Structure 1
Amino acid sequence: MDHILENLLSEPLTPWLSGSGPEGEIVLSSRIRLARNLKSQPFPGRASTAKLGEIMAELKAVPAELMADDGHDYAFVELEGLSTLARYVLVEKHIVSPNHVADPKNRALIVRDDASVSIMVNEEDHLRLQCLEAGLNLTEAFTKANTVDDIIESKHGLAFMEHIGYLTSCPTNIGTGLRASVMVHLPALSLTKQMGTMVAIATRLGLTVRGLYGEGTEATGNIFQISNQVTLGRSEQDIINNLNSVVKQIVDKERMARSLLINETPDVLADRVWRAYGVLRYAQSLSASEALALLSEVRLGIDLGVIDEALPAVFNQLLVTTRPNFLQNLSGKVALNQAESNKLRAKLVRLSLHGN
């Protein structure tokens, strides 16, 4: 299954980041993550090297078990066999967490050929199963995750107690073990200084708002991840319904903020997004954070019909290709220094915009 890994590392877009799906101009993707542990083994944080090896050996059977059910190809990738660069490309593509690749020994990835299903082996839990869909599509992502979970549970005993639910390393995941999240692009709320209010409201409703790569990361490019905080005592459907409801309200607020910008300050907005477009179109050097900030404003201009010289799909593609590790991998060089990276990023952006 080397072609699966090769495609993951080289292709800029995965289907769930295509820009399609419900509310796709604001909600980039939906994710369902399930935390699971084998009942016969200690949690990864308490497991010896030998035990972690046993867990890896048992879970190598999972790809074949999943392939027999849905017809897709799956790969089992041992992280220790990947270069540091390749591991962090997977982080930038939201296939694995930063924590998972920090110490690759006895850790692995199980991934479907379209990257919509990926399973981290021996991260904080034995299994961190995630399913991703384009747009606001949590129900479809949960259906897929539930199917994969049922197949794994039918073949491997999982740690579960009737009166508690699934047992996990972190107490906040006990119960359903479910973390539902959406990735949203909220430039208008940021420009109109309303994000602080939105974050406070989401927090009061039991949700958490994080940056582009989840916990501990910044909201680069006005992209945020919104997810549930608690799993114990709540059903999967309750968690999904609550998140869906709040996200729809945030989407409505973002649209209202966009209307405010285009109706009350159209000249200011036009000047801002065209300046951003001009910099991206002609810049000879761009840092990663600068590129995302400018791309966010250009995407806003595209969505509002101010800019008609680029397609929305370009924004989604450049979200990946301008990231430092993907760019490094794309260059084919052993290493890029900061100046070389910034120069190559600017060239890539210019070519992408020129082609549209």
Structure 2
Amino acid sequence: MSVGCVAGDGQSYIVFCDFFDRVLELYHKGYRRASTQRSDFNYDNLKGGDDFDSQYVTSCEVCVGRNVEDFSFPPHCSRGERRQLLSLADKAFRQLSEEIPGTLVSLQQLAADRAQLGCVGLPVDTPSAAMLRTGVARDWPDARAVWISKDESLVVLINIEEHLQLISTRKDDNIKKAFECVCTTLRKLEELYKRLRHPFVWKDHLGYVLSSPAEVGTGLRASVRVALKHIQHHWQLGNILDRLRLRLAHTGCAAGSVCEVFNAQTIGFTEVELLQFLVDGVKLLIVMDKTLGQPDGTIDHLIPAHK
């Protein structure tokens, strides 16, 4: 299931609450308007995440989106607003680079340097079909930029799908380190934007507000690439993923055995809780896959209760 709508600004979730609340309730498994969102970026509260079976887990990624108060979201953003947002980001990232060294590069510059595109790991030189449909790609690539940390452990996309998207990608199994990288930088950025009098958009019953209802709450998408030869074909897989609050996508790699496992929801739980679901869930899927690889292996006794 996917979401087929976007919001033009944070106020859209209030003005059109009858519509957006229904979308949130359906997509995020019953999250209701009366609920209150909590946030927890204390990565020390995460148990595990640095102890996956490296023979199964090939890479991982943590992505967090944020939008800035007093500006329309990318689907409705004017050229003038977008340029103001880039100017604001330039001020914030200049200060951030004093503590965490990095470079702010426009998309035009980035597209000219194909080697740096590989570092970013995203096709930011060309807008996606979804970005074209939702209006996010208007005036492309005007006032779009990328901040890349000096050690290339973190990339921040500016004015792409949201005002800011922090992405830490690792070519190993240590998602805890990726989460720590994002948390540390995000805390500093939140303070810097507050000082600039443009805090991130937050509403008590929605948490951090993004343009897509699928990302509202924490704005967090974490994923693990894991080689699963047996469990991905099991008839109970859908039920197991629902219980673990996870989703699975095939990557097309390694003859279809490598899958991307990621959090199904972004609201109703804290950031640490969502990461914990993913860490515990991936470990269980690996155990199940190993069990199914044995003669007469059965996983009935391993199927979990609903998280």
Q: Provide TM-score, normalisation by structure 1.
A: 0.57
Identity %: 22
Task: Kindly provide the amino acid, as one letter, of the partner of residue 255 in structure 1.
Answer: K
Change (3 A) 1:202 1:48: same
CA contact (8 A) 2:153 2:181 kept: no
2:186 partner letter? D
Shift of 1:55: 1.1
Partner of 1:198: 237
Larger fraction in helix = 1
Per-residue deviation, 1:107: 1.9
- Paired residue for 2:211, among 166, 169, 183? 169
Deviations 1:218-263 (A, max 9, x none): 45643221111211211112111111111001122333355569xx
Task: Say if 1:117 and 1:132, in contact at 8 Å, map to a contact too.
Answer: yes
CA contact (8 A) 1:30 1:133 kept: yes
Please give the per-residue CA displacement for 1:141-196, whole angstroms capped at 9, x wherever unaligned. 2222111111111111211123421111011211111112111123x328xx7366
1:119 — aligned with what?
156
Show the 5 A alignment for 1:55-204.
55-70=85-100, 73-83=101-111, 86=114, 89-90=117-118, 95-96=121-122, 101-102=127-128, 103=137, 104-105=140-141, 106-156=143-193, 157-186=199-228, 188-189=229-230, 194=233, 197-204=236-243
Cα distance in 1 for partners of 2:89, 2:102 equals 13
Q: Could you say which residue in structure 1 is the equivalent of 2:9?
A: none
Residues 23 and 98 of structure 1, relative CA distance in 2, 3 Å threshold: farther
Q: Would you say 1:209 and 2:248 are equivalent positions?
A: yes
**Aligned alpha-carbon RMSD (Å):** 3.1
Q: CA deviation at 1:74?
A: 1.0
Q: Is the 8 A contact 1:175 1:231 kept in 2?
A: yes
The CA distance in 2 between the partners of 1:256 and 1:135, in whole Å, is: 24
Point out the more displaced range, 123-132 or 102-111. Answer: 102-111
Q: Is the 8 A contact 1:178 1:231 kept in 2?
A: yes
Relative contact order (C-alpha < 8 Å, sep 6+): which is higher? 2
- Please give the secondary structure, in 1, of the residue aligned with 2:103: strand
The residue that corresponds to 1:319 in the other structure is none
> 2: distance between equivalents of 1:168 and 1:127?
10
Distance in 2 between residues matched to 1:112 and 1:243, nearest whole Å: 26
Instruction: Provide, for residues 45-99 of structure 1, a one-character-per-residue CA deviation record: whole Å limited to 9, x for no partner.
Output: 11011211111121123443333224xx312121123438839953xx6633669
What TM-score do the two structures reach when normalised by structure 2?
0.65
- Residue segments in structure 2 that go unaligned for 5+ positions in a row: 1-49, 129-136, 194-198, 297-307
How far 1:21 moved relative to its partner? Answer: 6.6
Greater Cα radius of gyration, structure 1 or 2: 1
Q: Report deviation, 1:125.
A: 0.8
**1:134 Cα deviation (Å)?**
4.8
